[in-house]
Every structure is written in C-alpha cells, then in structure tokens.
Structure 1
Amino acid sequence: MSYQSINAVHSAETTCEYENSKLRFRGPQRALNNPYVACLGGEETFGRFVETPFPNELERRLDRRCLNLGSLFCGVEALTQDKGLLEIANRSDICVLQLPGMLGLSNRFYRVHPRRNDRFVAPNADLVALYPEEDFTDVHFVQHLLNRLSARSDARIELVEQELRNVWIEKLGKFLAEVGPPVLLLHLQVERSDLDSTPGDGFAINPEMIEPLRPHCTDILSLQVQVSGVSDELEDMLFGTLQQPIAEHMIGPATHRNIAGSLAQVINDLSV
C-alpha cells in the first residue's frame, strides 16, 4: 500500500485557483491562453489520492491540453454559481462535465454551503413544516440530513426527492445553456457497495433526469465505476496513514485510466 505523510512537502494533490473563480481546483495551475479541453467536476474529476486523474490521462491520449477543473465538495450549487468557472469553460475547445449528484444544492427545503456543497447550512421553512418533529441543530452534512429523513420511512421523503430532481435539472439546464463550446456530459455511476451509508435510490441520478439536458450537450457518456474499496485498487493509491477510510471511498488509478480511454474515444469521434 502506498502511504504518504499527511504533512508531506511533495503532496500528490496540489490545489490551485483560477482568475475570477472562488473554487479550488486540482493543481498545478495551467495557462488559460492556449486551446484546451476543460474537465469540470467533483471529487472523481479531482482525483483524490490518485497521482494521475483522468483529465491528465485524457491529455496524454488526446495529445491536447486538458485542464483538471475538478473541485472537492463541488456539487450543483458551486458548479452553477461560480461565474469564473463558467468563463473558463467558455474559453475551452470542448467542455467535459462530470454530472454532480443531486444532494449538494440549495432548494426550498434546505440550504447548502456555497462552495462546500456537502455541508448543510440550515433548513428552510418548508422542511420544518414537513418534519415538525425533527431537530436540525445537530445536522451538519446533507447526507446526514437525508439519511435521517429517509429513516422515517414515510411518503414525506418523496416530496424532498422530487424537489431535488426538479432543481437539479433546472440549475444544470441553465448552466449548460450558458456554455458556448460543445459539452460532453460524463455520468459516473459509482458503486460503493456497503461502504457508504446513502439515503437511497430515490436520490440517485437516473436517465429520466439526464434526458432534459440532452439539448444542451453534444453527447452523454455513462460509465459504471467502483470505489477502490470495492475494486481492489486501494494498494495503488497515495494517502496518509490516517486516510485509508477516506481513500476506500474514492476511485482508483485503473478506473481513472478507463474513464480517460472512454472519453478519448468519444471526443475523437466528435472531431472537435
């Protein structure tokens, strides 16, 4: 297993900022004055605990510059509200967008942190009215919130699910409509087995949600992938001695190479 000191000087993961954006992306920083492929997304695009994330491998396979604009904890909210990120996407030749999950967005039931979209900020009045018996003061993460509500095992959770689906489609549709270059949507269906405590299938991205986005994109690539704790890639990852539980929930280097290979094939076929 490849361990790396948490305080190591030469980290496998550097972060950087780009002009006008409030997000931190996978480093090192790249110049924006040349043609490039913009790869937008969350933790899978960022490539946590992986030396060569799929945007870097994609650059090698395409022989053209690919910017890794993956940002940790980036969901729909951070992606669609960051004007600097939109500017960078609009300066690219083609934009690869890893579809974010639908939990990390503000809606009529709750608000999330504008950049760390996994963080639950506060319930809205509609959620308090829907679950009057709940005390939300000790809830700090969105997944914790939805796990708790799902555990009630009644029809109320369906209202929350539908709200999230509607807002997810609306916000992503508006964002994509503002992107000028061709957009390739990357839908990673991540298999986590029993490693994660997830709210349930009602909060998963499904084809019916993606279809309304089709008019705004050039193509859609859907791939089934496994986290390293399931795929046995953990030994090939770089992490500190206390970070193994987190690393088990991330995709490994072989999976990143497979994603890059599939993306390269689609982009070459597009002739963009």
Structure 2
Amino acid sequence: MGYADTGLGALDYGTCRYGASRLAFRGPRRALDSPYCAVVGGNETYGKYVENPFAARLEARIGWPVVNLGCVNAGVDVFVNEAAVLEVAAGARLSVIQAMGAQNLSNRFYVVHPRRNDRFLRASAMLKALFPQVDFTAFSFTGHMLGVLKAEAPALFPLIEGELRIAWQSRMRTLASRIPGPKVLLVVRGAVADDPVLGPSPVFVTEEVIAGVAPVFDRVLRVTVSAAARRQGTVGMVFPESEAQVAAAMPGPAAHEEIARALASLVNDLAVATRKQKGPHDAGPQAGGGWNNQSFSISSGTASKRSATSP
C-alpha cells in the first residue's frame, strides 16, 4: 500500500446511501433527525484516499453532524435531478455546494452519463458538424474527448467552452433553487494539479462564471490551497501502489484541513450573524434563514470579506 503516517491498510470509505438514491456517498452515514450540515460535491468532497475528508474535519470543528454527499466523478448533473440528495440538502441547517468542473455535464454539444458524469456517452449533431474529422465513438471520458477537440481545432474550442460555462451556470441555479435553506458555494482552487490541456480546477469555472451564480447563494467561499499543503503530496493518503498516480492528482489531508478550517470559520461567522439578527439566545443558522450575501476568500491561512459582486 502507498500510505504515510496513518498506518492503515485499505481505506474504508463507509460508503452509504440516502433514501432511494442509487448513488454511493462517502460515509459513515449520518442520522437526519437532528440539525446537520450537508456538503454536496465531487471527488474533492468525497475525499478519495483520505481518511478524514474536509466534511469530517468540519464536523469535528463545528460540533454538529455533517452529511457528506460527495460522489466520485460527479458533476452538477448528478445532483440536480437526484430527489434523495435534494431532500437531504433541503432538510439541512446549512448546505455547502462544491463548485465542480463544467466539463462533466450534458449540454448542447454532448451527453454525459447521468451518475458517472465524467463518462462521455454521445455527441450531438451540432458537435459532429463542427468536427466532422473526429470519430466520437473512440471516447469514453469527457476529459479525453475535450482534449482531442482542443488539439484538433483550437479556434473552434471557445465555442465549446462558452457552451459549458452557460450550461454550468444554468444547472447551478437550478440546483440552488431546489434547496430552500441557507446555501454556501464552495470554490476550491489549487487543491489539484492543473489539467495540462483544459486548465485549472474547477475546469472552465472562472471568476466571471462564479459571479453569475453568486446571487442565488447566501455566501460564496473561495479557498485557495496553500503551496505548503500542495507540497505535502500524498503524505497521509492511503492507496494501492497501482493507484499512486491517481492519488497524486487528488487533494491530500493538508488540503482538506485548510478547506475545513475555512468552512468552519464561515459557519461560525454565519452563526454569530444569525444570533445578532434573532437575539443572543437563538440557535445558529436555520433552514430558510436570511443571511446577507457575501463572499469570503481564504488563501494561505488569511481571510477577507467582500460583496458577492466584487471582482
């Protein structure tokens, strides 16, 4: 096994399901009969190869259960129409939605698998017309397909990027509209290596794109993982040697700790703001609460507050 510090063998993810969902989430399963926080996201939220992902670390910091709705290889599409996820998130005291990459969602150019959003299913007639020289039956994954298209016709690729950004904003607004309680959009940058072809993670989700959806969230939290955390590499991660390269592309424990610390700081800030609005004896943030929409940026251990519309 490839691991350091934890002394573990194979990592038990405690995979679980909620309601009638067919999706497998990072466990252990949390009870939903007392106030809880829900975290929705993809690989980073799931915390592959990490014993304690940021959701578990957040739970330890804030003192109430955190339901990890992280799903491997998920994009926004996984969650938009998943009734069980929406029900769990709707019942949460607070929901945190990770900004996942825009490459893994269905759009006017191509269709992805409804649960494994990184899987490419088919190209539309429009995409085939733009790239008549490309055999789309050769692709299984969106990243591979997009990389080939960019190499084949870089002048046309901005059309695809633009479509994906528009689709991402539309899908994120839909997801937010289906979760009635307080919501935080979590934007993590620098946790994983940049894609050499498609660019930094979350792929195609620029600050301009984030600004377009910020008004439908109560807060936007930007976390830039520090260089020191990135230098930790796979220290503390648990993985078979055959998956070392994959593990190296995932955020390690140090990155998860920085994300958890930033989220805990924001949750505590929201709780204080809510007590000031309701009175000192009221509980912390409740579903349906009305927080002023503000954006927080955390970078290398420092935090700043600004309006959601700030550049």
TM-score (norm 1): 0.92
Please give the residue correspondences for 1:1-272 in structure 2 after superposition, counting only pairs within 5 Å.
2=3, 11-190=11-190, 192-193=192-193, 196-200=195-199, 203-225=203-225, 230-271=230-271, 272=285
Per mean C-alpha deviation after superposition, the further-off stretch among 10-19 and 68-77 is 10-19
Gaps of 5+ in 2: 272-284, 286-311
Q: Distance in 1 between matches of 2:157 and 2:35?
A: 45
Q: Distance in 1 between matches of 2:143 and 2:181?
A: 34
Q: 1:120 to 1:213 in 2, by over 3 A?
A: same
Contact 1:228 1:247 in 2 (8 A): no
Q: 1:25 to 1:217 in 2, by over 3 A?
A: same
Contact 1:94 1:181 in 2 (8 A): yes
Contact 1:102 1:164 in 2 (8 A): yes
Contact 1:89 1:95 in 2 (8 A): yes
What is the CA-CA distance between 1:197 and the residue it aligns to?
3.9
Q: Distance in 1 between matches of 2:70 and 2:193?
A: 24
What is the CA-CA distance between 1:15 and the residue it aligns to?
1.0
Q: 1:229 to 1:220 in 2, by over 3 A?
A: closer
What is the CA-CA distance between 1:229 and the residue it aligns to?
10
Q: 1:197 to 1:226 in 2, by over 3 A?
A: farther
Q: Distance in 1 between matches of 2:193 and 2:203?
A: 16
Q: Distance in 2 between matches of 1:254 and 1:92?
A: 27
| 1:94-143 alpha-carbon deviations (Å, 9 max, x no partner) | 00111111011001100000000000001011100111111111111000
Q: 1:203 to 1:130 in 2, by over 3 A?
A: farther
Q: Secondary structure at the match of 2:241?
A: coil
Q: Distance in 2 between matches of 1:270 and 1:255?
A: 23
Q: Distance in 1 between matches of 2:12 and 2:45?
A: 15
Contact 2:30 2:65 in 1 (8 A): no
Per mean C-alpha deviation after superposition, the further-off stretch among 201-210 and 156-165 is 201-210
Q: Distance in 1 between matches of 2:177 and 2:27?
A: 28
Contact 1:228 1:248 in 2 (8 A): no
Contact 2:110 2:123 in 1 (8 A): yes
Q: Distance in 1 between matches of 2:125 and 2:239?
A: 41
Q: Secondary structure at the match of 2:102?
A: coil
| 1:29-75 alpha-carbon deviations (Å, 9 max, x no partner) | 11121110001111111111111100101011101111111110110
Q: Distance in 2 between matches of 1:227 and 1:113?
A: 34
Q: Secondary structure at the match of 1:89?
A: helix
Contact 2:38 2:69 in 1 (8 A): yes
Q: 1:117 to 1:205 in 2, by over 3 A?
A: same
What letter matches 1:170 in structure 2?
Answer: S
Gaps of 5+ in 1: none
Contact 2:98 2:187 in 1 (8 A): yes
Number of aligned pairs? 267
What letter matches 1:198 in structure 2?
Answer: V
Contact 1:185 1:219 in 2 (8 A): yes
Contact 2:161 2:204 in 1 (8 A): no
Q: Distance in 2 between matches of 1:242 and 1:24?
A: 23
Q: Distance in 2 between matches of 1:268 and 1:147?
A: 41
What letter matches 2:166 in structure 1?
Answer: N
What letter matches 1:199 in structure 2?
Answer: L
| 1:4-30 alpha-carbon deviations (Å, 9 max, x no partner) | xxxx6x633231111032211001211
What is the CA-CA distance between 1:223 and the residue it aligns to?
1.3
What is the CA-CA distance between 1:213 and the residue it aligns to?
1.5
Residue aligning to 2:300: none
**Aligned-residue identity in percent:** 37
